Amino acid sequence: MGKLTFKGEPKKKKHKSRSSSSRHDSTSTSNHDDPYSDQDLSGWIAVPEPGLALGPLYLTLPRSPITSSPVCLALQPTTGKVHPFALPVPEKNTASNADDSKARRSLAATLDQEQLEALVDYDPSSNHNDSLATTSTQTQTPTDIHHVWVCTRIPDSQDKITLRSATGKFLAADQFGQVTAEREARGMLEEWSIEPSSNPDLPRGTVVLKSCHGKLLSIDLVAGAKVEVSADADPAEGIGPTEEWQVWMQGEYLAKAKQQLLERTGTKATLLDARAKASSIKGPGNGDGLTIVGNLGGAEQETIKRFQARGQGRYVGSTEDVSELAKARRKGKLSEAMLDRRVKLKRLVDENQAYASFLMC
């Protein structure tokens, strides 16, 4: 007797299982091509580049001369104050360090002079070990929702973002460098520019954040030996370790971030136009009514060539600026604005043809 099923229940398709060796080969190949393969897109990962920062972010700073431990950008929900939260540093195991030192001494006794010169001794009590400890799992994963900031990209910009806290307030900086999170609406003060760090020796995901006044987000030592978050550091004076933030994002947002990056740079619109021409499909967006516009000038030119029969579909420039199309897109009336411009261009072509016919008579 077979498995009981309900009447009308659709049959499930059977999938052939692949061998473990083939799965391992495909996984190793994908990992070689992309450092963030499908199996790694879970949990918190370092932001590959500033243009891919999207969704929940976790901003941390390594240990610096003014902090005794790594810190993260946090919010005090009761007072609404933005402050650096000290992250725990893993404790050193003195017993294991002693065993390691003993093992190294026994190993050094069996090496010759050339091997000893090539051997780089590692001291567990050195500062190098502390720097490695700052990149531990405890600094990569937030332990409180008020340590997470939701990143949203601002339209019509490449590097402008907003950071929203768990309470729904946006991170802002005034002209005096005071950093707050008190408003639920976005304005000019809530805009931040995320840029890559100029130091190539820093790990992946290290960025600098600029306020709308051109100042850097950093931590500073104030009166009373207190460390506070500020946005008054001048980038012209140099960028130090207190301004270089290491940003972590959730891996599940990486695919969406890559798609948005293509749309902002106009690459997505170019690919759609090429696919439409190759498949001889009339109309934008493969006939599904969806068009991703990254370059307004190129989109208008392609639309005129596709829909305007008069003038052999050649592009006739107009006196209007592309900024009008940008305003129409923000209002959700991009299609209507492009249609009005095509009508005006059609009239211009008709007038030119009538004038040419008059001259020939």
Q: Are residues 256 and 295 in the same domain?
A: no
Q: Which stretches in the chain have pLDDT values below 50?
A: 24, 26-33, 37-39, 94, 114-138, 269, 271-272, 274, 276-291, 313
Q: Residue 166 domain-assigned?
A: yes
Q: Are residues 67 and 208 in the same domain?
A: yes
Q: Are residues 76 and 188 in the same domain?
A: yes
How many Å is the maximal CA-CA distance in the chain?
Answer: 106
Q: Residue 73 domain-assigned?
A: yes
User: Domain count of the chain?
Assistant: 2
Domain that holds residue 316: 291-360
Q: Residue 120 domain-assigned?
A: no
Q: What does the pLDDT read at residue 285?
A: 44
Q: Residue 341 domain-assigned?
A: yes
Q: Residue 296 domain-assigned?
A: yes
CATH assignment at residue 201: 2.80.10.50
Q: Residue 22 domain-assigned?
A: no
Q: How far apart are CA 50 and CA 332, in angstroms?
A: 28
Q: What does the pLDDT read at residue 155?
A: 86
Contacts of 6 (CB under 8 A, 6+ apart): none
10 Å CB burial of residue 244 (0-12, 13-18, 19+) is buried
Q: What does the pLDDT read at residue 330?
A: 78
Q: Are residues 217 and 164 in the same domain?
A: yes
Q: Are residues 64 and 200 in the same domain?
A: yes
Q: Are residues 175 and 309 in the same domain?
A: no
Alpha helices in the chain (DSSP H): 20-33, 94-108, 113-118, 127-133, 137-140, 254-265, 267-278, 296-307, 322-331, 334-360
Q: What does the pLDDT read at residue 310?
A: 53
Q: Are residues 157 and 241 in the same domain?
A: yes
Q: Is residue 248 within 8 Å of 57, Cβ to Cβ?
A: yes
Q: Are residues 73 and 214 in the same domain?
A: yes
Q: Is residue 234 within 8 Å of 251, Cβ to Cβ?
A: no
Q: Residue 159 domain-assigned?
A: yes
Q: Are residues 212 and 160 in the same domain?
A: yes
Give residue-wise pLDDT tens across range 280-309: 333 444 444 444 555 555 666 666 666 665
Q: Are residues 322 and 251 in the same domain?
A: no
Q: Are residues 324 and 250 in the same domain?
A: no
Q: Are residues 195 and 251 in the same domain?
A: yes
Give residue-wise pLDDT tens across range 5-62: 656 666 666 666 555 555 545 444 444 445 554 445 678 999 999 999 999 999 999 8
Q: Is residue 197 within 8 Å of 186, Cβ to Cβ?
A: no
Which pTM was predicted?
A: 0.56
* Helical axes 296-307 vs 322-331, angle rounded to 10°: 90
3-state secondary structure 296-360: HHHHHHHHHHHHCCHHHHCCCCCCCCHHHHHHHHHHCCHHHHHHHHHHHHHHHHHHHHHHHHHHH
Q: What does the pLDDT read at residue 98?
A: 56
Q: Residue 33 domain-assigned?
A: no
